[in-house]
Every structure is written in structure tokens, then in C-alpha cells.
């Protein structure tokens, strides 16, 4: 049984910018597919928290979490759920998703906490039970849900990294599931998850896919495998979960989009104005950095003739990235080059730019990446990108009025550097705000995108297939700016005074506790062992034994020669000590009982077993001297540098500060331009992908109602596409399949010995045909399948199972006198010899049997005891031959795709066979197709392949060489299963 529940971003949602999260219940497993969160500012403004409430409720009960991509709407709620809501189940993602997701969450957390106050008063629960007690029913949720930096690191350290195309057998309660990741494009490490269950089938989770290659990534798994373009592992899934929100989108060509972006950047900078490009901290930032850095390399190339008139001046415009995690992201990316594709692996910057500058198509100069850029990192060298941690660092290096390109995070411009630079650059005429994504609802980026789209023609709007034009929206924009400023003046003095008073109160409280403790132990005496000892340690038999701390609730006897730090409890009255009362153990009226003569044997000794005194400190000092003498000057220098580095990494105490909020009224004069660089599929692509994958059932998610209905209408009108399409709403459960009873069976030695070379691969499975009977070994509950001849037949009840009728097969069924049916096990040869001389066969009591196998039915109430009702054909009598049933020697299984067959015939060597579609379900092939009209087609030169019904295949033509090749190609498209 498969159950899918969209927790957010369903196919019936009103917005496609909602966070992505789906609950998949497969058999007994509860799997959460992605765990995203809204932008922090839009999350703080919302009033409904149903999605977060549901996640909090489900977190302790989940069996598995799968993270497919690294943007915030895919995984940013995961660290908070793990730290605060009791999410303790295993989490799987690819290594790039882990590292880039960590960068994304850290960038957002640090940026938001540097501007806005976050309530961390609720301590992190240590268990799921404490989490439930803390949150459930007591404190309503209110976002944004911002974890701490330590919680982010801990959460991503917990994730188990997986690799593409490597099946992973899960453990524990999920041991029956097989998980296989495939590349999906769109982001570095983006994943299609394939989950296989032996009872429920195969599920393919395909959200956030891109079929085309980019500068740093290859397309989804279908881009490089087989004649159909798809790997066998993703074809024909039992259930496909795919997004449909972009099914009406028409993307411009990648070349056109990149050219428009670079032309705008160049023209704006050369006109002495600046460009602000909001971007995410990692997933799509890499693509932009590769493109822009290559453009800067092209501009700085001395051989370039398209520069300004003064050829000696370099390209004077800085390329700046403002992000706290920018350099960490680049370091991670350079360690993940094997996960990338495009020009990052193949070529350097000069070759990549030739795509946009070469006047002749196909004119490219192949060159090694490292050699072209003079670096081992190739296209990831980023020699022209300058990194800045904060906006103030950038403004110190380059004044505000100097022309520059600024990439700032986040893309929504709801907080952080991108929001700050918008307030400083939006009021200057000539500056450009360049948007590469539409942004989430209720964010500044979405508002600017709406202003840009209003000024576009109908053909220039987003999703219409053309690049729009530069827009200059006029008007005022009101923004709330949050910031964290240090305290000064009277506020600082008041804060320091409050801290001083708090420390004094704490010190006074601690002093009172210490004084009370000293009064209770006023008569304790110092023992000789303490006066002679070395402080905090006793030495026994050469082993350091740490002294116990004093128990505040116990009395200690401090006699001569006794260890005062060893605690004991007794009931005898000692001067200055408290009398122990047996609370709860003393009966009414009974006097307090005391233990007489309490004694604690001293065990601490400073000598070994032979009576020799030990000085551990001497050995420690001697070892340190030996180490220092053996150190070289180089080792000492490394130690000194390491200590200095550790000292620098120590977090300095933060200066007293406060959070302020102010409203700015900006006069928007800057221009706005949008070019789609999200790296996602378009409408025609998703329709083709669904048609090519051929899923048996389909679930659409992450779409809008009108777009979803249009996609469903198209799929229903397309031949060969499943009609089982489900459109769940948010929170609605979709149940697919039925409960299946699974049983375990062991293959016996007689069968498994003959299966060594009989296995055939089909859709990721290994199958073979076997014929045998089930037997139970003594003392075993698992049945064993053995060859039929080795298993003694069991008596059958008074029922006869009908077997499929065949022209060449009939079974003799003798009937006993009381009407019970007995199965014969005589070999086919002997039975055939007994019945070959006569058309009639008699049972033990003389009853005549003349019928086909389907017509054999016991007739207990017949006029003659043991007789069987006879059914004769009108044309001729049925002739009976008793033979042992057998299975065919081989079987072809699978689904023939005529498109794949056409490609197969065209790729035959040494001579290919041309083919054409002659109608729906008919493929005509053979060299006769190329015969001129005035010539006669030779016999045997044309063969037709027809698909009849669901599983029928008919090959028509004259027997000959072409016919044999076509039949062989048809069989090659199917899986051959051989019997044991």
C-alpha cells in the first residue's frame, strides 16, 4: 500500500512558492520527502502554521527523511526540526546536497540573526518526549523557525551521504526497501530518488528536474544513457511523483538568456552605473559565478577587439560577491568537481565564452580547463571574483558611486546584504536590479518582478518563450529595515550597570550558599592525609584515584588519619554534625537507631606494591623535557602558529547591542530586468519526460489548479500515457494499491543448482522461470521449493482447479468411488501409452471419462456412483492424452516501444535498417522504404511490426534476411527469461 500526503506545495495549491514536503507511507515505513521552509520574513508575517504544526507532530514518528535539493524551500526546516521537534530518524542526501545545504542554512541563519532578534529562551529538548511536553498543546507555533549555528552543523553532520546510481539497502525496519539516487540537474547534487519495495513496487520522486546541461551541471539522468535517453533504472516506475507547475512555461534558449544577461551587465557598467544581482548562497550561485567570471576573463583578454577605444586599459569594473559563506561554498564546490559537468570538467573560460562570441556555429577551440585558466580548478578558479563578508567591507573597498556588479544574498531581498544594497542603489537613476528568479510570495523580489512584468508586452512576459525588455517602474517603495546596532552613551552605561548588579546578586547568592555549608561542617577537621597530600588526588598502587566530592546531604566523620574527602553516612551523634533522621523508614514512637563505631578504612597510598614511594609528577616532568629536547625549530614554529590560529578562531565576546526597526520610503528610480536562470524544465520538456518514462501511475504536485487541469487534459489525450493520474490537495491522502500478503520461500538445492546461468535482467530485477513443488522441512516454518519429481504429492480436496486450455495438452483425472478427486503423478509417457489405443479412459470403478480439462467437474449427486458429467463438442469427440505439465523453455517479457525499436534498427551494424511509422502502433521497416516510386519493391525488403492490444506483437513480412534481423531486434528490446 502506497499513501502520499502533501504537507505543502500540492497540485491544488494557490502558490508554487510554498515549501516542499511530502509524506510517503510505503508499507509500514513513513518517509518524508524534503523538508523546506518559507523565507524568514514572509514566514514571520503569515498567520497560519498548519504545515509546521504537522511537521512537528510527525517528526518523532518518521522512519526516514530524503533531501533532494539544497535551496531553502527544500531543506531549511530540517535543522530546526531535528534540534527542537524530536526528529531522530535517518536522513539521506548526496554529498553536494549536504555541503551546499549547510552553506545555505548557515548563510540565512547568520544573516537573519545579525539583524533580527530570535527567541531562544526555550532550551533544546533532549528527547522526543521532552519535545512533546515542551511544544505540544502549550505554546503555539510562531515563525520564523531559525536554528542556531551549532544546531545547523549538528543536523547536517547527522545526514548520511549517498552517491548516484548506487543502490542502498536500508537497515532496521526499512531493510526491505532499496533506495537508489539518480542525478536530476537543477542544482549541484540534485537527486531523483527511486524507492523499491518488494510488495508495493517502485516509486520515483522527481521534483526539481532539468533535462538540459548547463555550464557547471549536466542534465537529469536521461541525458546520457541509451538510445531513448534514459537509464533503465528510471523507466517504467509503478508510481511517478512529479511537479506540474511549469507545464505551461516556454523557456527561451539558454544561449539567448545568457547573452541578454551579459549584454545588460556590460552596457550598464560601461555607462558608469552599477548592477545588483540578488542570488542564493549556493545552489544557483555557482552557475552565475562561472558565467560572469568567464565574461570577465573574456573582457580582460588582450586579443579582444570589442573593448573600448583605449585597448591598454583593463576592464575596470569589479565583480563582487557579498556573503558570509561565499568562500566556504567555493571551497566545498572545488572538492565536488566529480559531481559536476559542462565546461567545469571539459574546458576553460575562453572556450566557454566562445559559445556566445563565435560568429560561426561549431567553431570551438578545445583546450584543457586547467591550462586555459592557469589553475588546477579550471572554471572554478574565479580569479576575478572578490569576496566580502558584509556590505560595509565592500563599501570600504569600493565607494558607492563606483560602477560595479554586486552579487548579494538572499535572492528574495528580505534581509541581509541584498536588501541593504537595494536601499542604497534603487534611488540612483541608471542602476539596474537584475532578477534571475521570481522570488517567493510576499517578498521584495516578487514585488519587483510583478512591477517588471506589468510593463512587458504579452510576448515578453515570463513563460512566453522570449526575453523581455528593461523596465523602469516609477513610484515609492516602503521597506522595513532591521538592524543590530551597538549600545552607546547612556544606554551602554545602563546595560553595564545592569550586568554588574546581576553579577553582584549572583555572587551574594553563591556566598550565602557557601557560608551555610561551612556552618554545617564547622567542626570538620583536616586529616593528616590531606595535609601531607598533594591536593586533589590520592595515589593507590601507582594509579591516580580521583577523590570524591563531598555530598551535601551526608555526614562525614573527620577523625585522625582518615580521609576527609571520602564520604560516609551514619546515625551516631557527632559533635557539630547533623543527626540523620530515618524519614519514611521509622515507625511512629520508635527511637532513632544509630550505628555504633563508624569506620572507613583509608585506602589511598603513595607507595607501590613493593613499598617504594611514587612521584608521578617527576615522570610527567621528565617526559615533557624529553619531548621538548626532541623538537626541532620547525616543529616549535608550527606549534606557535597553531596556537595563534586557535587564538584567532576564538569567538570574541560580542559588544552590547540592540535590535532596531525603521521604515524607509524609497523613490524607485533604478531599472529592473528579469531573466530566468533558475535552471528548471519547461512545459514541453515535462510532458515529454512523463511520456518517455511511461509510469504506471502518476501523482502531480507543486502546481496551480488551472495549470494542473491543463496538464491532465493533455496527458489524457496522449496515447501511451497512463490514465491513473492523481491530484492530491494539501493534507489529502492518496492511497494507491492494496495490502499485499508476502511470503518467504527458500529455493532448494535441486532448483538453485540449475539457475546459475538462467537469470535474466528486467527493469532492475533478475528473473527466471522455475517449476517445482513446495515442501516443508522438518522443524522449519519456511517452505522449500524443490523439483516436482522429488516431492511426494499430497491428497487434494474435492475441488478441481481449472488450468488454461491448450490445443496440445489434456490431463487424465481419475475419480475415486466416493467422488473425491485424486491427482495422478504418472509420467506423461506412461499415461499416453495407456490411452493411445482407445478414446476412452476408465476410472477404478469403471466410470468413463470423456472431457477437456476445463470441463472436468465432480458430480457427486449423479445417477451413477463416481460418474462425471460429460461435455462433448458437436464436431468431434475429445481425445485424451495424459502428460506431465511443463513450462516453456524461454519467455519474452517487457513492453515493446516502437520508438526504441526504430532507433535500434537504425543503429545496426554493418548496415542499418530504415523504418517509418505507418500509423498508430505500426512500424514499417526495411530497405524497400528507400525504393524509388517508379521501381518495384523487392519481395522480402519490407517488414511490418504491429502492436495489438496491450501485450500483442505481430511481425508481418516475407521470411528472409530482413525479417530475421527485425525479429531479432524485437526480441532484443524485450527481456528473455529462461527456465531452469
Check: CB of residue 19 under 8 Å from CB of residue 9.
Answer: yes
Q: Is residue 877 part of a domain?
A: no
Give the Cα separation of 265 and 283 in Å (integer): 22
Query: Do 239 and 331 sit in the same domain of this protein?
Result: no
Query: Do 75 and 147 sit in the same domain of this protein?
Result: yes
Beta strand ranges found along 143-293 (DSSP E):
160-162, 168-169, 178-183, 191-197, 201-206, 239-243, 275-278
Q: Which of 705, 720, 736 is the last residue of a domain?
A: 736
Closest CA to 203 of 212, 193, 215: 193
Q: Is residue 397 part of a domain?
A: yes
Kindly calculate the radius of gyration of the chain based on its CA atoms and give it in whole angstroms: 40
Q: Is residue 586 part of a domain?
A: no
Mean pLDDT of the chain: 76
Query: Do 291 and 413 sit in the same domain of this protein?
Result: yes
Cα 577 from chain centre: 64
Pure H helices in 426-487: 444-454
Place of cell 564547622: 522
CATH number at residue 186: 3.60.15.10
Check: CB of residue 101 under 8 Å from CB of residue 70.
Answer: yes
What pLDDT does residue 270 have? 93
Query: Do 319 and 207 sit in the same domain of this protein?
Result: no
What pLDDT does residue 979 have? 64
Query: Do 465 and 441 sit in the same domain of this protein?
Result: yes
Check: CB of residue 437 under 8 Å from CB of residue 680.
Answer: no
What pLDDT does residue 912 have? 84
Closest CA to 332 of 156, 82, 122, 79: 156
Q: Which whole-number Å values give the CA distances from 899 to 329, 923, 924, in the listed order?
A: 43, 9, 12
Q: Which of 454, 486, 518 is the last residue of a domain?
A: 486
Closest CA to 420 of 299, 504, 305, 322: 322
Check: CB of residue 205 under 8 Å from CB of residue 701.
Answer: no
Q: Strand order of the sheet with strand 319-322?
A: 385-388, 319-322, 405-408, 275-278, 432-435, 671-674
Give the Cα separation of 821 and 806 in Å (integer): 22
Q: Is residue 700 part of a domain?
A: yes
CATH number at residue 385: 3.40.50.10890
Give the Cα separation of 64 and 171 in Å (integer): 11
Q: How many other β-carbons are positioned within 10 Å of the β-carbon of residue 814? A: 19
Query: Do 236 and 261 sit in the same domain of this protein?
Result: no
Query: Do 241 and 262 sit in the same domain of this protein?
Result: no
Residue stretches of the chain with pLDDT short of 50: 123-138, 223-228, 307-311, 348-355, 357-374, 523-571, 575-584, 797-884
Q: Which of 736, 753, 783 is the last residue of a domain?
A: 736
* Span 250-296, pLDDT tens digits: 999 999 999 999 999 999 999 999 999 999 998 899 999 999 999 99
CB neighbour list of residue 663: distance below 8 Å, 6 or more residues apart: 478, 479, 480, 481
**Does the global pTM surpass 0.75?**
no
- Residue 126: phi and psi, rounded to 5, are -85, -10
What pLDDT does residue 839 have? 40
Q: Is residue 563 part of a domain?
A: no
Give the Cα separation of 376 and 337 in Å (integer): 11
CB neighbour list of residue 155: distance below 8 Å, 6 or more residues apart: 78, 79, 82, 83, 147
Give the Cα separation of 470 and 261 in Å (integer): 11
Three cell numbers written together for 388 = 566580502
Check: CB of residue 686 under 8 Å from CB of residue 444.
Answer: no
Check: CB of residue 468 under 8 Å from CB of residue 438.
Answer: no
Query: Do 43 and 181 sit in the same domain of this protein?
Result: yes
What pLDDT does residue 870 have? 43
Query: Do 397 and 297 sit in the same domain of this protein?
Result: yes
Check: CB of residue 441 under 8 Å from CB of residue 42.
Answer: yes
Three cell numbers written together for 462 = 515570463
The domain total for the chain is: 3
**CB-count exposure of residue 826 (10 Å: 0-12, 13-18, 19+):** middle
Query: Do 266 and 244 sit in the same domain of this protein?
Result: no
What pLDDT does residue 647 have? 75
What pLDDT does residue 366 have? 39
Q: Is residue 605 part of a domain?
A: no
What pLDDT does residue 127 have? 45
Angle at 214 between CA 208 and CA 220, to 5 degrees: 40
Three cell numbers written together for 397 = 573597498
Closest CA to 758 of 896, 887, 895: 887
What pLDDT does residue 874 have? 39
Q: Is residue 476 part of a domain?
A: yes
Host domain of residue 902: 898-974
Query: Do 905 and 964 sit in the same domain of this protein?
Result: yes
Q: Is residue 165 part of a domain?
A: yes
* Span 666-696, pLDDT tens digits: 999 999 999 999 999 999 999 999 988 889 9
Q: Which whole-number Å values give the CA distances from 352 to 49, 133, 285, 334, 880, in the listed order?
A: 46, 57, 17, 18, 78
What pLDDT does residue 74 have? 95
For CA atoms 230, 233, 239, 243, the dihedral sign is: negative
In this structure, the dihedral spanned by the alpha carbons of residues 754, 755, 756 and 761, taken in order and rounded to 10 degrees, is 160
CB neighbour list of residue 700: distance below 8 Å, 6 or more residues apart: 11, 242, 243, 244, 708, 711, 712, 725, 726, 727
Three cell numbers written together for 144 = 520564523
What pLDDT does residue 526 have? 42
Query: Do 146 and 281 sit in the same domain of this protein?
Result: no
Check: CB of residue 735 under 8 Å from CB of residue 12.
Answer: no
Amino acid at each position: 500500500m502506497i499513501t502520499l500526503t502533501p504537507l505543502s506545495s500540492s497540485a491544488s495549491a494557490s502558490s508554487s512558492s510554498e515549501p516542499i514536503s511530502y509524506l510517503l507511507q510505503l508499507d509500514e515505513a513513513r518517509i518524508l520527502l524534503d523538508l523546506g521552509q518559507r523565507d524568514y520574513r514572509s514566514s514571520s508575517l503569515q498567520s497560519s502554521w498548519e504545515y509546521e504544526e504537522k511537521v512537528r507532530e510527525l517528526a518523532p514518528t518518521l522512519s526516514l527523511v530524503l533531501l533532494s535539493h539544497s535551496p531553502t524551500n527544500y531543506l531549511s526546516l530540517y535543522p530546526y526540526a531535528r534540534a527542537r521537534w524530536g526528529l531522530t530518524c535517518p536522513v539521506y542526501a548526496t554529498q553536494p546536497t549536504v555541503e551546499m545545504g549547510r552553506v545555505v542554512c548557515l548563510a540565512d541563519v547568520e544573516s537573519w540573526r545579525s539583524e533580527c532578534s530570535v527567541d531562544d529562551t526555550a532550551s533544546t529538548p533532549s528527547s522526543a518526549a521532552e519535545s512533546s511536553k515542551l511544544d505540544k498543546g502549550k505554546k503555539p507555533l510562531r515563525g520564523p523557525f531559525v536554528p542556531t549555528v551549532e544546531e545547523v552543523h549538528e543536523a547536517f553532520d547527522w545526514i548520511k551521504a549517498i552517491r548516484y546510481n548506487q543502490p542502498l539497502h536500508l537497515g532496521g525496519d526499512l531493510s526491505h526497501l532499496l533506495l537508489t539516487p539518480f542525478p536530476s540537474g537543477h542544482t549541484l547534487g540534485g537527486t531523483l530518488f527511486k524507492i523499491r519495495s518488494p510488495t508495493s513496487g517502485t516509486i520515483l520522486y522527481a521534483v526539481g528536474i532539468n533535462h538540459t546541461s548547463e555550464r557547471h551541471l549536466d542534465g537529469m539522468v536521461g541525458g546520457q544513457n541509451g538510445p531513448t535517453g534514459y537509464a533503465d533504472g528510471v523507466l517504467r516506475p509503478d508510481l511517478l511523483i512529479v511537479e506540474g507547475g511549469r507545464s505551461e512555461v516556454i523557456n527561451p534558449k539558454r544561449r539567448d538568456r545568457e547573452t541578454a544577461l551579459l549584454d545588460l551587465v556590460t552596457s550598464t557598467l560601461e555607462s558608469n552605473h552599477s548592477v545588483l544581482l540578488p542570488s542564493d548562497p549556493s545552489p544557483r550561485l555557482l552557475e552565475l559565478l562561472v558565467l560572469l567570471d568567464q565574461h570577465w576573463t573574456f573582457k580582460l583578454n588582450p586579443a579582444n577587439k570589442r573593448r573600448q577605444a583605449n585597448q591598454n586599459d583593463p576592464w575596470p569594473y569589479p565583480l563582487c560577491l557579498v556573503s558570509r559563506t561565499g568562500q566556504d561554498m567555493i571551497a566545498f564546490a572545488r572538492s565536488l568537481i566529480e559531481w559536476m559537468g559542462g565546461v567545469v570538467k571539459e574546458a576553460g573560460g575562453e572556450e566557454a565564452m566562445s559559445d556566445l562570441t563565435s560568429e560561426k556555429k561549431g567553431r570551438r577551440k578545445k583546450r584543457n580547463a586547467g591550462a586555459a585558466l592557469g589553475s588546477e580548478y579550471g572554471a572554478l578558479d574565479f580569479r576575478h571574483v572578490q569576496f566580502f563578508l558584509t556590505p560595509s567591507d565592500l563599501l570600504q573597498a569600493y565607494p558607492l558611486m563606483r560602477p560595479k556588479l554586486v552579487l548579494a544574498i538572499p535572492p528574495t531581498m528580505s534581509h541581509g546584504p541584498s536588501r541593504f544594497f537595494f536601499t542604497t542603489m534603487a534611488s540612483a537613476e541608471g542602476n539596474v536590479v537584475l532578477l534571475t528568479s521570481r522570488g517567493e510570495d510576499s517578498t521584495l523580489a516578487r514585488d519587483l518582478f510583478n512591477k517588471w512584468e506589468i510593463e512587458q508586452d504579452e510576448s515578453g512576459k515570463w513563460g512566453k518563450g522570449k526575453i523581455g525588455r528593461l523596465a523602469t517602474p516609477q513610484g515609492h517603495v516602503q521597506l522595513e529595515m532591521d538592524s543590530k546596532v551597538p549600545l552607546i552613551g547612556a544606554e551602554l552605561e545602563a546595560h553595564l550597570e545592569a550586568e554588574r548588579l546581576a553579577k553582584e546578586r549572583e555572587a551574594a547568592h553563591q556566598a550565602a550558599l557557601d557560608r551555610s555549608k561551612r556552618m554545617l561542617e564547622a567542626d570538620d577537621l583536616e586529616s593528616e592525609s590531606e595535609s601531607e597530600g598533594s591536593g586533589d588526588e590520592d595515589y593507590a598502587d601507582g594509579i591516580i584515584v580521583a577523590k570524591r566530592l563531598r555530598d551535601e546531604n551526608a555526614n562525614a566523620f573527620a577523625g585522625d588519619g582518615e580521609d576527609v574527602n571520602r564520604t560516609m553516612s551514619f546515625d551516631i551523634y557527632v559533635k557539630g554534625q547533623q543527626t540523620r533522621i530515618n524519614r519514611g523508614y521509622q515507625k511512629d514512637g520508635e527511637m532513632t537507631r544509630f550505628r555504633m563505631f563508624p569506620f572507613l578504612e583509608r585506602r589511598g597510598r603513595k607507595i607501590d606494591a613493593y613499598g617504594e614511594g611514587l612521584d608521578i609528577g617527576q615522570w610527567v616532568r621528565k617526559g615533557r623535557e624529553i619531548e621538548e629536547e626532541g623538537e626541532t625549530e620547525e616543529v616549535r614554529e608550527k606549534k606557535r602558529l597553531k596556537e595563534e590560529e586557535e587564538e584567532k578562531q576564538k569567538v570574541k565576546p560580542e559588544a552590547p547591542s540592540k535590535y532596531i526597526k525603521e521604515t524607509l520610503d524609497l523613490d524607485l528610480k533604478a531599472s529592473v530586468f528579469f531573466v530566468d536562470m533558475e535552471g528548471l524544465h519547461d512545459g514541453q520538456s515535462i510532458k515529454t519526460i512523463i511520456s518517455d518514462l511511461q509510469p504506471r501511475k502518476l501523482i502531480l504536485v507543486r502546481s496551480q489548479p488551472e495549470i494542473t487541469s491543463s496538464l491532465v487534459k493533455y496527458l489524457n489525450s496522449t496515447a501511451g500515457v497512463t490514465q491513473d493520474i492523481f491530484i492530491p490537495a494539501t493534507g489529502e491522502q492518496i492511497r494507491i494499491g492494496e495490502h499485499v500478503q508476502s511470503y518467504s520461500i527458500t529455493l532448494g538445492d535441486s532448483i538453485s543448482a540449475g539457475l546459475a546461468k538462467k537469470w535474466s535482467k528486467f527493469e532492475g530485477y533478475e528473473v527466471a522461470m522455475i517449476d517445482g513443488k513446495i515442501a516443508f522441512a522438518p522443524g522449519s516454518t519456511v517452505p522449500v521449493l524443490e523439483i516436482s519429481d522429488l516431492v511426494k504429492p499430497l491428497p487434494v480436496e474435492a475441488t478441481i482447479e481449472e488450468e488454461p486450455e491448450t490445443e496440445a495438452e489434456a490431463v487424465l483425472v481419475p475419480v475415486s468411488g466416493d467422488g473425491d478427486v485424486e491427482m495422478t503423478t504418472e509420467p506423461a509417457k506412461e499415461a499416453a501409452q495407456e490411452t493411445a489405443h482407445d478414446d476412452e479412459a476408465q476410472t477404478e470403478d469403471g466410470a468413463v471419462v470423456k472431457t477437456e480439462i476445463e470441463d472436468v467437474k465432480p458430480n457427486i449427486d449423479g445417477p451413477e456412483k463416481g460418474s462425471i458429467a460429460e461435455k462433448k463438442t458437436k464436431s468431434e469427440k475429445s481425445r485424451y492424452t495424459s502428460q506431465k505439465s511443463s513450462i516453456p523453455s524461454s519467455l519474452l517479457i517487457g513492453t515493446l516501444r516502437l520508438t526504441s525499436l526504430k532507433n535500434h534498427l537504425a543503429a545496426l551494424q554493418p548496415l542499418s535498417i530504415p523504418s517509418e511509422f505507418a500509423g498508430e502502433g505500426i512500424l514499417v521497416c526495411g530497405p524497400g522504404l528507400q525504393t524509388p516510386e517508379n521501381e518495384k519493391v523487392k519481395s522480402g525488403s519490407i517488414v511490418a511490426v504491429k502492436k495489438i492490444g496491450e501485450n500483442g506483437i505481430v511481425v508481418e513480412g516475407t521470411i528472409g534476411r530482413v525479417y530475421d534481423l527485425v525479429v531479432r531486434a524485437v526480441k532484443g528490446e524485450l527481456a528473455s527469461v529462461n527456465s531452469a
